[in-house]
Structure 1
């Protein structure tokens, strides 16, 4: 047991932070999760769990309610191509539902929680510590542990404090997301990706009466204006009432110089993010959670760096190539190319989905 406040402090109580905490408890570690927000925590995202992400959750003992996902479809104004998952389906799950399921499992596993905002972090060679904001802006006493995992999101304060951020993407290339739910019976068990103009719209069934629509592209403020450029989807939604307020995120590309600093490890979006185009953020994040805990148990942070690169290679390479194409004159050819080569499209989907 640690002589500090825990064997492991996890900064960030989102899905990857909670998965890390559950993994660590299964390895026998005393875990403290630090999170400033009251749950359940929401986020602008596509909400489609690929088969690999769903399997990772089930291994952790988490079975969130949602809507079965049979595969992925790409559509433009005139064409469509689809691929159905091979052995196992995925699941559309509202982010708040997923958060509640993970938080309950973490609590059952004995994870402890501290409400607070991290304002300082130290990554020493033999231990690590974080300080939380106290009353009247003062810092609270340090929380110490042999290890810290920062899973504090796309714009990770811990990543910035440790100097692990790389230069931001130039403004003209930045992409953002905005998500809203609609009260309408899902018309398909596929995640539909509608390509139009400068945006893509991800449509995910999340229960028997609700679909989520996440729109990606240049900075957006009005999902209705974006949907006007996607007549096929606008017609499907018809006069459906919004089932949630609009929620935004971005810029999406976040690059890191490294994933470790001393005994602090970065996981999930905090460790770097390419784009949401392939919908694989959670699958990769859950794999990182498992690898981070394995590296901590082995007292070998360099192992985590190696495994992070290996686990994210396909995601980074394929998504980066797709993002480049989406910003280029080739954009209008993406769906036609997938239609002409359905086997290649399917093999890429299967590789990412696992």
Structure 2
């Protein structure tokens, strides 16, 4: 197949949020085309834990990806821990590739057209958006807006920018806002070992957090989050995705003594993936007939593990309010409020001299820790 000259809804970005938005649009009776610069099943650095609310939203889309049950959250440091089981039942640890494959299959089954193409430009008028796409075979390997290659022009009634943290749609529509503060990055890899817990473990040190998520009976995923410099980035040098220890594990994992000891003899599966800077801002979520959805619409941090739930809520809201930018902006604000408030607050605490009190406070006030977890998990 090839990208058609016209479509009602063009979704730029074929990750889970883009595919969810495409499914919602198809179920609303709209013609939908999804384009992404990468082909096939897409992997990404993420924590891979679907909290109960996110799992329910995924199941509502008719998708039931394989994984490992998640009973709750555990915050841990070198001397203590605080555990809270989910009141609403388990979530699920799911490999990013498994989630993407299941959503992609569902979208194709429901008539969504998915094509490999790279966004190069867009312009719009009162009736639609003209989108320039690079459909050359090598499109996935270059990000320069002016890069060569055959151009396909598509006329869409609406464009949904679901293209992640470093959204080209956000940049081309003038909605980008420079992020402030010291940047944070994430690294993620997998280990071949049986999960030792059915909780998502969050290990805290003075400079970083490590998230351990069981994703299969014999695989755990580990994601490390830290500020620039604390993940091993050199000024002007390689990004965190390229930084590993001699055994192939994410740089800095040795700082988590309990975790490093558990994983000492476990084989590393695949390569380390990186993401960041995590903090991204947008002026607003709409410009004419363009809408921003998911990470492209603005992102605080991965600290609370809510990315999928919040993104799926936005995908539902944008389709319900496609023709009303102001109403979508209000729906976006409601859908992301808890995530923005709680993540911003916890991030500020984690970046302060009082960072070391986070796990002791959670342990000393389990009712408060439980309330926060339940707020995030719903």
Q: Which residue matches 2:82?
A: 81
Moved over 4 A (4+): none
Return the TM-score normalized by structure 1.
Answer: 0.96
Which residue is equivalent to 2:235?
Answer: none
Query: Can you list the C-alpha shifts for 1:62-99, whole angstroms capped at 9, x where unaligned?
Result: 00000000011000000100110012210000000101
- Secondary structure of the residue aligned to 1:339 is helix
Deviation at 1:218, TM superposition (A): 2.2
Partner in structure 1 of residue 59 of structure 2: 58
Residue 280 of structure 1: aligned partner: 306
Residue 251 (structure 1) aligned to one of 271, 277, 280 = 277
Of residues 193, 211, 225 in structure 1, which corresponds to 2:220?
211
Alpha-carbon offset, residue 121 of structure 1: 1.6
- Whether the 8 Å CA contact 1:128–1:148 is kept in 2: the answer is yes
**3-state DSSP class of the match of 2:321?**
helix
| CA contact 1:131–1:141 (8 Å) conserved in 2 | yes
Q: Confirm or deny: 8 A CA contact 1:129 1:148 kept in the other structure.
A: no
- Matched residue, 1:20: 21
Distance 1:121 1:9 in 2: 12
Alpha-carbon distance, 1:139 to partner: 5.7
Quote the offset at 1:23 in angstroms. 0.7
Is residue 337 of structure 1 aligned with residue 361 of structure 2?
yes
Whether 1:168 aligns to 2:179 is: yes
What SS does structure 1 have at the residue aligned with 2:87? coil
Are residue 290 (structure 1) and residue 301 (structure 2) matched?
A: no
Could you say what secondary structure the match of 1:6 adopts?
strand
Match 1:193 to one of 202, 216, 231: 202
Partner of 2:154: 143
Q: Deviation digits for residues 286-313 of structure 1, max 9, x if unmatched? A: 00000000012xx212111110011111
Tell me the residue number matched to 2:103. 102
Distance 2:334 2:360 in 1: 31
- Checking the alignment, whether the CA contact within 8 Å between 1:159 and 1:266 is kept in structure 2 is yes
Q: Distance in 2 between matches of 1:20 and 1:247?
A: 25
* Correspondence for 2:330: 306
Give, in whole Å, the separation in 1 of the partners of 2:124 and 2:288. Answer: 5
Q: Separation in 2 of the partners of 1:341 and 1:116?
A: 51
Measured at CA, do residues 326 and 294 of structure 1 come closer, stay the same or move farther in structure 2, by a change above 3 Å?
same
Equivalent of 1:262, from 288, 294, 298? 288
Question: How much does 1:197 deviate?
Answer: 2.2
Figure out how many residues of one structure are paired with residues of the other and give that number.
Answer: 348
Q: 1:320 aligns with which of 344, 349, 365?
A: 344
Query: In the TM superposition, what is the alpha-carbon distance from 1:144 to its structure 2 partner?
Result: 1.1
Gaps of 5+ in 1: none
8 Å CA contact retained: 2:135, 2:149: yes
After superposition, the C-alpha distances for 1:330-349 in whole angstroms (9 at most, x for unaligned) are 10001011111111111111
User: Do the aligned partners of residues 260 and 182 (structure 1) sit closer, same or farther apart at CA in structure 2, a change above 3 Å counting?
Assistant: same
In 2, Cα distance between the equivalents of 1:204 and 1:345?
Answer: 19
Residue from 202, 205, 228 that aligns with 2:211: 202
Q: Which residue matches 2:48?
A: 47
Change in 2 beyond 3 A, CA 1:224/1:249? closer
Tell which deviates more after alignment, 7-16 or 237-246. 237-246
1:185-218: per-residue Cα shift (whole Å, max 9, x none)? 0000110000012000000000000000000002
Partner Cα separation in structure 2 for residue 13 and residue 281 of structure 1: 16
Supply the distance in 1 between the matched residues of 2:278 and 2:124 (Cα, whole angstroms): 27
Equivalent position SS for 1:41: coil
Shift of 1:123: 3.6
SS at match of 1:243: strand
